[in-house]
Structure 1
Amino acid sequence: MTASLHGKTILVTGASKGIGAEIARELLGGGAFVVAHYGGDLAGAERAIATAAPGQAIAIPADLGERAATLELWRRALDWRGRIDVLINNAATMPFDGGFDADDAAFEGAWDRALDVNVRAPARLIRAAVNHFLEAGGGDIVTISSWAAQRGVTNPATIAYGASKAAVRSATQSVARSYARQNIRAYVVAPGVVRTRLSEEFAATQGGEDKVSATLASGEWVDPAEVARIVAFLASGAAPQLSGATLDVNGATYIR
């Protein structure tokens, strides 16, 4: 039987905008039940799941910088349909004030935010997912990392972001290696410059979009919908032997 999203219950973090919103739409189109997490943008989350049939999607708020809120997100997501088949760790923050030339308060604050939202929160959700999957007989985890995890960042003010994306990538790969025999699969998607608010803010620190685009092999930014299609493919279970892999999505600008 061809792998399918139909009937799967999938938790997507950061689903109110950018890549996360496109992932939610793509999953809904494939027949999945979607838990759309959002931070403070309820309207954005509602737009992301606007195409859902009655009972096909739910939006749940949570501050991923807080341990209790993150664990409550998982509990509410699990209670909705009694199971979660796929966890998609997408939410992230990119502090722009954590460079080595920043004052102590800004430097420490940037690292705290990046680690709390980009590492500790996904790690807590991964832990909950793995324990749930062990009881359920398997499941899938897809983590949205970044090419910054492999190549570093070009703006040192965002060094905490790059380091955090490397950490969550490693955690995801460790799950893939450790639980393959328990039918738990874990994948990493590492986009380059995607047309999102974060990338636009980053481009502004690098001299503007034209300057960033000139560094890209294709001269084009990645469409969030393309990333969403890749994530949906992984979530479908169509390629279980890709577990542990990092899929680079950057238009041939960075080839390992």
Structure 2
Amino acid sequence: MESLTGKTVIVTGASKGIGAATAAAMIDAGATVIAHYGGDRAGVEAATAAAKPEQVTLLQADFADMDAVDAFWADAVEAADGQIDVLVNNAGIMRQAGGIEDPIEAWDEAWTRSMAVNVHAPARLLRHAVRGWLQAETGGSVIAIGSWVTTRGTSNPGAISYAASKAAIAAATKTVARNYAAKGILAYVIAPGVVRTQMSVDSAAKTGGEAAVTATLPMGEWVPPSDIAEMAVFLAEGRARHLTGATIDLNGAAYIR
């Protein structure tokens, strides 16, 4: 069922993991997709391979560079003929070193990169999107891919900057929800637990290994990226307007608030 036909969706970090699954799901739902990637062109091409002619546009940008973020947005708006309906802020990095016990050089590098890619870049896109919707008086939706570490912290001490950065962009997204709901602008945070991505595999290696992490999960399995993608499609449909501002936990009962 092509529930998103006629809508244009930006998915950042679409070359792997959650972003790749989300881009594919949006395409399957009939959306026109603008898929961002950093350096993995082959990955984003694979993720969007099922697209019909002219259904997808691939745009590269280094999200550590705010000029590149601004240029990406301008290119996306041009590609979409001015119509962006949904922004999925997914792109992010997780440094595995840079904790309190690591050298100050690693600490500084982790915090600098995490704040740039995980906070400043998505916040910049958030700003562009909301300002565009306000000017056009069309409304729109922002879907932030967050993490359960925003409320529980992370068990990986080297990823402290990642946890802080995810909390920051989640708060920014909720602020949009509170202030612009009457303008038809909706904003959601999806907070996954342990997802079957390379990022999670790398993190598990720092916290006892994959088997040890799996043993802590009530369902005994990691969350498949497709679960997050399907939730993103549902939110993009706009049928859950009064869910705006919510954080949707997807962790298989591993963390219940």
TM-score by length of 1: 0.98
Q: What amino acid is the match of 1:17?
A: K
- How many residue pairs are counted as aligned between the two chains? 255
CA distance in 1 between partners of 2:2 and 2:226 (Å): 20
Map residues 19-168 of structure 1 onto 2, 5 A cutoff. Answer: 19-82=18-81, 83-136=83-136, 137-168=138-169
* Shift of residue 4, structure 1, vs aligned partner: 3.1
- Structure 1 counterpart of 2:78, one-letter code: D
Asked whether the equivalents of residues 2 and 30 of structure 2 are also in contact (C-alpha less than 8 Å), the reply is: no
The 2-side partners of 1:176 and 1:104 are apart by 37
Range moving further from structure 2, 169-178 or 100-109: 100-109
Structure-2 separation of matches of 1:111 and 1:195: 25
Tell me how far apart the structure 2 counterparts of residues 102 and 213 of structure 1 sit (CA, whole Å): 26
- Whether 1:188 and 2:189 are equivalent positions in the alignment is yes
* CA–CA separation in structure 1 for the residues paired with 2:256 and 2:208: 24
How far has the Cα of 1:97 moved from its partner? 1.4
Q: Which amino acid aligns with 2:191?
A: A
- 1:3 Cα offset (Å): 10
Structure 1 runs (4+) deviating above 3 angstroms are none
Q: Which SS does the other structure have where 1:179 is aligned?
A: helix
- What is the rounded CA distance, in whole Å, between the counterparts of 1:134 and 1:3 in structure 2? 27
Letter in 1 for 2:125: L
Q: CA RMSD in A?
A: 1.1
SS at match of 1:251: coil
Please, what TM-score do these two structures have when normalized by structure 2? 0.98
The answer to whether the Cα contact below 8 Å between 1:11 and 1:87 also exists between their aligned partners in 2 is: yes
Distance 1:130 1:3, change over 3 A: farther
Give the deviation of 1:69 after TM superposition: 0.5
Alpha-carbon distance in structure 2 between the residues aligned to 1:3 and 1:17 = 23
Distance in 2, matches of 1:222 and 1:162, equals 19
Q: Output the CA distance in 2 between the equivalents of 1:104 and 1:96.
A: 14
Q: Distance in 2 between matches of 1:198 and 1:125?
A: 23
Which structure 2 residue ranges, 5 or more long, are not aligned? none
Matched, 1:197 2:198: yes
What whole-Å deviation, never above 9, does each CA across 1:121-168 have from its counterpart, x for those lacking one?
000000000001112320000000000001000011100000100000
- Counterpart-to-counterpart distance in 2, 1:253 and 1:49: 31
Does residue 233 of structure 2 align to residue 232 of structure 1? Answer: yes
Aligned-partner SS, 2:168: helix
